[in-house]
Structure 1
Amino acid sequence: MRLKSTLTGLMAAFYAMPAAAQDGLEIIGKPLPGQMGFQPAATELARDLFWLDGMILIIITAIVVLVTGLLFYIIFRYNEKSNPTPAKFTHNSPLEIAWTVVPIVILVFIGAFSLPVLFKQQEIPEGDITIKVTGYQWYWGYEYVDHEFGFDSYMIGQPATGGNYVKTPEVVAMLEEAGYGADEFLLATDTAVVVPVGKTIVMQVTGGDVIHSWTIPAFGVKQDAVPGRLAELWFTAEKEGVYFGQCSELCGKDHAYMPITVKVVSEEAYEQWLQGAIEEYAGKPLSYDVAAAN
């Protein structure tokens, strides 16, 4: 009987460690000094957005080159020295029709590609997992709606975690203890959102005081968190790893210290983390049968 109780306690303690979900995960979605372009796309939404951005960049570059070329041509061809007798006409109907119709065609072309991307973002599918996120000054609160537990997420180094917004040796030690490096300061949080790879995640976003904004660049998602309103976004992460984001709406003096950490793990690792998270955050102890089965 004593052996059975000991095993039960050990199993429950093992599965009550949510931080274990990050073991061995590659840090993928992270800003880098001097980086140009986007972070690696980890969702279909991000790939669509990055492709759309590249396509529009080609179009606007061509427009800039054309307009600049026309300006230089007119400067050298029709200056006073080259053209001492200026023309006296005031209208050119074909030209006016052209510079009206061509921009319309370009905008319709861009809209034909951009609207489907927008609709894909805004049409929220049925989620495999639903998480409610609430922005506060200056941290995030998460609630796993399907499992009735939640937790708050603070930047490692924020006063709430024992820091003072300064990368001291103590803060670096906290980062390393949580599995991060010193260069993840201002990015890593004490508690991360954990989701399984390949599953549709629906985030219900709101604010608890002022307007915040929840975003993960590598996922291609961003949604304002407005007090009194419940907005939604969705994503399906395609690669395991750690992804960082930031509050993207100016929300007060500590706006810069409100990062977001999402860990994408295998389904097996997620189920293991989930058992421990329910045990820790919901205060529901695992039964012997559940602990033994895992």
Structure 2
Amino acid sequence: MNRACAALAATLCLLFASGAAADQPVPWQLDLQQPVTPIMHEIKWFSHYTLWFIVPITLFVLVLLIWVVLRYRASANPVPSRTSHNTTIEVVWTLGPVLILLFLAIPSFNLLNAQLTMPENPDVTVKATATQWLWSYEYEGLQTPVGFDSYMLQDKDRAGAGKEDRARYPRLLAVDNELVLPVNKTVRMLVTAAPTDVIHAFAMPAFGVKIDAVPGRLNETWFRAEKEGLYYGQCSELCGKDHAFMPIAIRVVSDAQYQAWLGAAGSDLPAANRQLMAATDQPARAVDVASK
């Protein structure tokens, strides 16, 4: 009995642990990914809000089409109506869409304003440079420079990287070097592409971030992750034959873990990553407990 309770408790820890959750696409996903930034919370709310307009309008148009087909088919209406004007109907189909668009425009503009208004004095500034087909990251404003390339993780390299858990490090989304950022800190992202490259796009669905990476142009966006874990995105602009193999992975950790990683990453990035993985990959420990 005690062993069964222990296994159940370990399973619940795996299912509901929030400290090391990873957000990624799932099979048959119908909704957006779970929001972990203030902007993404607003995006998800707006997505659900628009459904209160989209669903009734769709059903109304469907019913109207069925009614027109049945009521005005040739057999039921052999003499077509010659009506060419109806003031009431024209007023309704003019004012109705205007009111609907007004109810959609106000929260939409508020959301756009929140996305495009850069917070003052961000805690972290990172430059992301896109190249066919990888992402390069540089942490700005540090005494000891920290920068690295991030490639999609190959299956043959999983064992050496300690990333054999495909649930946590999924195929085609996991990378060799994740972008490490602190939780509950404002992050300013500078996004561009190599001067001789093509247009890419930096997209992180759980953060509500999607911004073009254009050669010769520096775009910027921001986010503040509210929950630790691993989060996955991808290049979202068709950029060539390996466009599908250009993932983005962000590891959000506590501020103390971030500072420790940052201090070690400048001199030995692989060692800093291994140490951080040992401290943050909590599900592996839960599995060990359950097996005992």
Identify the TM-score tier after normalising by the shorter chain: 0.7 to 0.9
| Amino acid corresponding to residue 264 of structure 2 in structure 1 | G
Distance 2:87 2:160 in 1: 70
Cα distance, 1:262–1:180 mapped onto 2, change above 3 Å: farther
Q: Does 1:251 align with 2:224?
A: no
What are the within-5 Å matches in structure 2 for residues 268-283 of structure 1? 268-280=256-268
User: Which of 107, 112, 128 is residue 133 of structure 1 equivalent to?
Assistant: 128
**TM-score (ref. length: structure 1):** 0.79
| Aligned position for 2:276 | none
Runs of 4+ aligned residues of structure 1 deviating over 4 Å after TM superposition are none
- Which digits, 9 at most, give the CA deviation of each residue in 1:14-71, with x for residues without a partner? xxxxxxxxxx962421112222211111111111111111111221111010111112
Cα distance, 1:180–1:145 mapped onto 2, change above 3 Å: farther
Aligned-pair CA distance for 1:88: 2.0
Q: Does 1:154 align with 2:166?
A: no
Kept in 1: contact 2:21–2:228 (CA 8 A): no
Distance 1:174 1:27 in 2: 23
Secondary structure, aligned partner of 2:227: coil
User: Which of 64, 80, 83 is residue 86 of structure 1 equivalent to?
Assistant: 80
Kept in 2: contact 1:212–1:248 (CA 8 A): yes
**Unpaired runs of 5+ in structure 1?**
1-23, 158-166, 282-294
| Aligned position for 1:234 | 222
Q: Does 1:116 align with 2:110?
A: yes
The structure number with the bigger radius of gyration is 1
Secondary structure, aligned partner of 2:221: strand
Q: Does 1:143 align with 2:138?
A: yes
Q: Does 1:185 align with 2:171?
A: yes
**Unpaired runs of 5+ in structure 2?**
1-17, 270-292
Percent of aligned pairs sharing the same letter: 44
Kept in 2: contact 1:29–1:217 (CA 8 A): no
| Aligned position for 1:12 | none
Distance 1:151 1:263 in 2: 15
User: Which of 249, 256, 267 is residue 261 of structure 1 equivalent to?
Assistant: 249
Kept in 2: contact 1:28–1:40 (CA 8 A): no
Secondary structure, aligned partner of 2:249: strand
Kept in 2: contact 1:138–1:257 (CA 8 A): yes
Aligned-pair CA distance for 1:179: 6.6
Aligned residues: 246
Secondary structure, aligned partner of 1:210: coil
- Which digits, 9 at most, give the CA deviation of each residue in 1:239-285, with x for residues without a partner? 0000011111111111111111101001111111110112336xxxx
Cα distance, 1:255–1:193 mapped onto 2, change above 3 Å: same
Kept in 2: contact 1:156–1:174 (CA 8 A): no
Tell me the C-alpha RMSD between the 2 structures.
1.8
| Aligned position for 2:181 | 195
**TM-score (ref. length: structure 2):** 0.79
Distance 2:101 2:160 in 1: 51
| Amino acid corresponding to residue 72 of structure 2 in structure 1 | Y
Aligned-pair CA distance for 1:178: 3.9
Distance 1:123 1:180 in 2: 38
| Aligned position for 2:40 | 46
Secondary structure, aligned partner of 1:246: strand
Distance 1:259 1:138 in 2: 9
Aligned-pair CA distance for 1:205: 0.3
- Which digits, 9 at most, give the CA deviation of each residue in 1:126-151, with x for residues without a partner? 21100000000110010101213211
